[in-house]
C-alpha cells in the first residue's frame, strides 16, 4: 500500500494549441482535457494504474465535482471534508511540448482542517509501505506541516510506520530537511539549488547535483531522487549515487512528469528492486508521462522498452 497526501489538490485543465502561444493575441485551441491533479493524486493515479494498492488522502468539499474526477481515474480516496472547492490549474501546451502554467493558490485551511487531515493520514498509514506527502501547502498551515504529519504517523505506528517521501519545495522542503524527518526527497535541480543555496557549477550536471545532494544525504534525508527534466535523474543514497539518462521522446506535456518519476521509483522499491532499477523505473515513468497530453497517468503499457543507461557517481 502506498498512501499519498495532497494538501492542496487541483483540477488540471490542459489546453492544447496548434501553434506556439502568442502572448496578447487570440488563438483557437485544438482540444481541452481535465484531470484530477495535485502531486499526491498524480502519484496515486500512476500507482493504481500499475495495480498496486493506494489511497489518496485529500481535503475536499462534499459537493466538489473534483471527487468524481478522482473516482473516474480509479483512485481510492479518503476525503477530509472542507468548506471550499479545490483550485483549478491551467496548462497551455503547444505542439513542441512547451507548456505554460497558471496555478491558483487554493483555498485556505483552518486549524481544524489541518488537524483532521493529520488524523486521516495517520489512520490511512496503518500497514502502508510508503507515505507520500506531496505538493504545495495551502494557506493556513505552517511550513512544518509535512514534518508534523510525519512525526504524528511515526508516533502512532512506531516501528510499523511507513517510509515517508516528500515532494515539495520552498519553505516546506526546508523544514523537512532541517529536521531530517524523511526517507526520500524528490526535488528537481532548480529546487535543489533553492534548498541548499549552492549553485550547480563544475563538471556535468549530474556530477554537480551529486555534490550538492551530498550536503543533505544521509544526514538530512535518507535519500534523494533529483529529477533533471529531459537530462535524466540522479539518485543519491547512503550506499551510493547513480545518474540515469532520459530517453529521447516527443514531448506532449511535462506536467506531472516528476510525479510519475516518483511513482515509478516507489513502484520499483515496492517490488523489491535495487537502487539502479528503481532509478531506471523512475526515468521510464517520467518519460512516459511527458509523452502523454495533459496530466495523464502513464500505465505499464505506456513505458518504453529501450535500455536506460546508468552510471555510478
3-state secondary structure string, 190-235?
HHHHHHHCCCCCCCCHHHHHHHHHCCCCCCCCCEEEEECHHHCEEE
pLDDT at position 212, please? 94
What does the block give as the cell for 72? 473516474
Residue 259 annotated to the active site: yes
Cell 522498452, residue? 305
Residues 93-150 pLDDT 10s: 888 878 888 888 778 899 999 999 999 999 999 999 999 999 999 989 999 999 999 9
Q: What domains lie within the chain, and their CATH numbers?
A: 2-22+29-312 (3.40.1190.20)
Active-site entry in 12, 167, 259, 302: 259
pLDDT tens, 11-61? 888 888 989 888 888 988 888 888 877 899 999 999 999 999 999 999 999
pLDDT exceeds cutoff 80 at 217? yes
Amino acid at each position: 500500500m502506498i498512501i499519498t497526501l495532497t494538501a492542496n489538490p487541483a483540477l488540471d485543465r490542459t489546453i492544447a494549441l496548434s501553434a506556439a502561444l502568442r502572448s496578447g493575441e487570440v488563438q483557437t485551441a485544438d482540444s481541452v482535457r481535465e484531470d484530477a491533479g495535485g502531486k499526491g493524486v498524480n502519484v496515486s493515479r500512476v500507482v493504481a494504474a500499475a495495480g498496486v494498492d493506494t489511497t489518496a488522502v485529500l481535503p475536499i468539499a462534499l459537493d466538489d465535482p473534483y471527487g468524481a474526477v478522482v473516482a473516474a481515474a480509479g483512485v481510492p480516496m479518503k476525503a477530509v471534508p472542507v468548506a471550499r472547492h479545490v483550485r483549478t490549474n491551467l496548462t497551455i501546451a503547444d505542439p513542441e511540448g512547451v507548456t505554460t502554467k497558471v496555478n491558483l493558490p487554493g483555498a485556505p485551511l483552518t486549524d481544524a482542517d489541518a488537524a483532521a487531515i493529520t488524523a486521516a493520514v495517520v489512520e490511512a498509514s496503518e500497514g502502508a509501505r510508503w507515505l507520500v506527502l506531496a505538493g504545495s501547502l495551502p494557506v493556513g498551515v505552517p511550513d512544518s506541516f509535512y514534518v508534523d504529519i510525519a512525526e504524528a504517523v511515526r508516533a502512532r505506528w512506531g516501528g510499523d510506520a511507513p517510509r515517508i517521501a516528500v515532494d515539495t519545495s520552498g519553505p516546506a522542503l526546508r523544514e523537512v530537511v532541517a529536521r531530517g524527518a524523511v526517507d526520500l526527497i524528490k526535488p528537481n535541480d532548480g529546487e535543489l539549488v533553492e534548498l541548499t543555496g549552492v549553485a550547480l557549477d563544475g563538471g556535468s550536471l549530474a556530477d554537480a547535483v551529486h555534490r550538492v545532494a551530498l550536503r543533505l544525504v544521509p544526514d538530512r534525508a535518507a535519500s534523494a531522487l533529483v529529477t533533471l527534466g529531459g537530462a535524466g535523474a540522479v539518485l543519491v543514497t547512503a550506499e551510493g549515487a547513480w545518474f540515469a539518462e532520459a530517453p529521447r521522446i516527443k514531448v506532449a506535456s511535462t506536467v506531472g512528469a516528476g510525479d510519475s518519476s516518483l511513482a515509478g521509483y516507489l513502484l520499483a522499491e515496492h517490488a523489491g528492486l535495487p537502487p539502479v532499477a528503481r532509478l531506471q523505473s523512475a526515468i521510464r515513468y517520467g518519460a512516459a508521462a511527458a509523452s502523454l497530453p495533459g496530466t495523464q497517468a502513464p500505465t505499464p503499457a505506456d513505458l518504453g522498452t529501450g535500455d536506460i543507461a546508468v552510471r555510478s557517481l
